[in-house]
Amino acid sequence: MPGDPIELDERFEGDTLDPEVWFPYYLPHWSSREQTAATYSIRDGALHLSIPPDQSLWCPDLHDEPLRVSGIQTGSFAGPVGSTIGQQPFKEGLRVREEQPTFWGYTPHFGRIDLGMRGDLTPRSMFGFWLAGIEDRPERSGEILVAEVFGDEIEDESAAVGMGIRSFNDPNLIGDFSAPRLNIDVSERHTYAVVWNPGSIEIVVDEVPVRRIDQSPGYPMQLMIGVFDFPARDPSGIWANHVPELVVSSVTGSPLS
């Protein structure tokens, strides 16, 4: 059930994702599983999410900016076909196109979550790791953004790393986002973590506290991990054949002590 105080220790052994934990589609209720399936492989003890040049656009008739994505999540909730009930609606009037079974893989309610990852980006791509409210009720929709990195914000050995709170339909939250520049090379592995307490969160990078925010969502949340590509940001097609990749080597979660 959502919020159960279970631990997670994912090291990506074997050659496939654990179906009890991971859902390898990005919000398929607004589209379909076929059109939102992540491109991924598991090798050398890591999950490799990528976007090859022939991968199709995500929700091309609905999403205003052309977008391609390979993402996985640890929960999924939506209503029947034709309903407006569904996680993370990105515009008004969206209706469910393909019914999805409710899935709760790993949906913690407070705790510490760590993710070890590295990314290969271009100026038109980004990667992200965030916790999203399970949205079984519309107000349980806040997000904790742990790390969001855009390729055009990467310099030689530093990057602007987006982090904070997004309120969406949660009346108890106030949006609080910033993107501090950190002296890290995001193409090398780093650990990004959130310590999520009642009433506060702390973002930690490589065991160094970076941000504390004195508010937090008070309901179960699911993990969202993905790499994104925005073709319209590359009108000349310089990066069209480059394959953005996010390599995730570990995901751990533990209850508060």
Residues of the chain with pLDDT under 50: none
Please give the single-letter amino acid code of residue 255.
P
Cα 178 to Cα 148: distance, rounded to the nearest angstrom: 10
Residue 5: the pLDDT is: 67
Round the average pLDDT of the chain to a whole number and report it: 96
Give pTM, 2 decimals.
0.96
Q: Is residue 178 within 8 Å of residue 163, measured between CB atoms?
A: yes
**Domains, the chain, ordered by start:** 8-142+220-254 (2.60.120.200)
Residue 215: the pLDDT is: 98
Cα 219 to Cα 23: distance, rounded to the nearest angstrom: 20
Digit-coded pLDDT (tens) for 178-206 = 999 999 999 999 999 999 999 999 999 99
Residue 3: the pLDDT is: 72
Cα 244 to Cα 230: distance, rounded to the nearest angstrom: 11
Digit-coded pLDDT (tens) for 39-69 = 999 999 999 999 999 999 999 999 999 999 9
Cα 76 to Cα 191: distance, rounded to the nearest angstrom: 25
Cα 160 to Cα 147: distance, rounded to the nearest angstrom: 9
What percent of the chain stands above pLDDT 90?
95
Q: Is residue 23 within 8 Å of residue 75, measured between CB atoms?
A: yes
Residue 6: the pLDDT is: 78
Query: What's the N-to-C CA distance of the chain in angstroms?
Result: 21
Cα 146 to Cα 9: distance, rounded to the nearest angstrom: 18
Cα–chain-centroid distance for residue 243? 19
- Closest to 74 (Cα-Cα) out of 118, 132, 115: 132
